[in-house]
Structure 1
Amino acid sequence: MNGPQLGPSVAALEAWSKSFLSGQDPDVRDALLADSRVASYPAGALICNASNGDYRVALIHSGQIRAQITSWDGRQATTRYLTAGQFTALPAMLTYGAPSSLAAVTSCEVSVLNPNTFRHLLRTRADLCYEVAVHLAESTYETVMHLEDNLFGSVQQRVSRHLLEMATSTVKGLLVQSDQSELADAIGSVREVVSRSLKKLEDTGAIRRSRRQIWIEDPRLLQSFASSNATVRNKDLAVGNTAREAGLKARNE
């Protein structure tokens, strides 16, 4: 990790504008970012382990971060992926720790926030508290969907979903920079099984592999492999988004 850089940055302000708190009063933004520091992590770095009380509340400027849980025998399973404009470890901030950890999927830059400042604002700003509560509820539903895949989905479905979530857009197309071992860790499987799954996807033309690079050639085809319940889930997400928009409209009125 690079040395700390005090105060907000242009990148932090841009990330805030993409976050679920972008509609908050500027004084909330300024209070949090003024008490923050900028940090960067290389791909593959363990950012923190909240199960040991080491949680990192951060606003992501760039890159991708994986939230994961680890079993007693060392196996890992990903609960969600986080990208620019999203916050890490909000539940851990409220409970002073959580049974999870954060790892950098790609090189990333974040604003590390002061949890004491954040907690103080939540105690004194009802509008902020409500918005964070709604966000945490939505995140819970998202995590449940991910766990459903990990518990009941086939390896093929889990690999396909993780490839879609890990992909970053480049001038040459959608790219996943990961090897088979890292992907196996992400879905809680083993390298040999993941290798067979990737070969099948490559044979169908959904992906193309080159060393540590996996190019998504046909996102729609890969999505069809990702979940047999994709249609149902998309409908559920659409209903949820419509309900939230209606709630926000009612609140503003």
Structure 2
Amino acid sequence: MQKTALITGASSGIGYAIAKALQTEGYQLIVTARRKDRLLDDAQVEVFPGDLSTEDFQDKLEDHIFQKYGRLDYLFNCAGMLETGPIETINLERMTAMLRLNVEATFRLTYKILKRFRQQGSGHIINISSVLGTKVRPTAGAYAASKFALEALSEALRMELAGTNIQVSCIEPGLVMTELHNNWEVHPKESMNIHEPLDVGNIVDAVLYILRQPGHVRIPRLMILPKDHNI
């Protein structure tokens, strides 16, 4: 049976790369993000653009998937924002928007899909977290908090779902070259002295490793760091 996967944040970076990889693997994909023109689109990919932070959009997305396909096998929570900065200059509106997307919207969608997974008796949630879900740094407290929250939810759900055919996995990348840092005055690879950051292909490899495990194996957390990462 062809596997069906929903990928959020699929217009760029890790989400887009995962979509490309799973397209090649033969999955039926539903991809979503706000930028419709950036979403992968072909016969195996259904584009469903919108703002994940709105309840109405989430409800329409869920209803569409289960009315059309009858089931969902994977949810990839890749949508997220990154807003950092010192107390004096951090953009409070962007910071709160980040928390709404990274925490509120992601949690809501996760529980909605898990209710469906409970009904069908199987499914797998793959959350794109961060190494900053395990530690904090000055000026990045709000972002780290959003990832700590995702880690806490993932572990609690893993425990609640132990013994079932429903899985929850967290991938915790270090610095990955994506659009998230395009507007930074100093790129983290310079400030952190990381000469060879990760690329999205490294994260895709981790995803495929998780997906190819036998049914009795669980991988709750998988941290991936560039070799120069030492803080």
User: Is the pair's TM-score, using the shorter chain for normalization, greater than 0.5?
Assistant: no
- Structure having the larger proportion of residues in helix: 1
TM-score by length of 1: 0.25
- Structure having the larger proportion of residues in strand: 1
* Bigger radius of gyration among the two: 1
TM-score by length of 2: 0.26
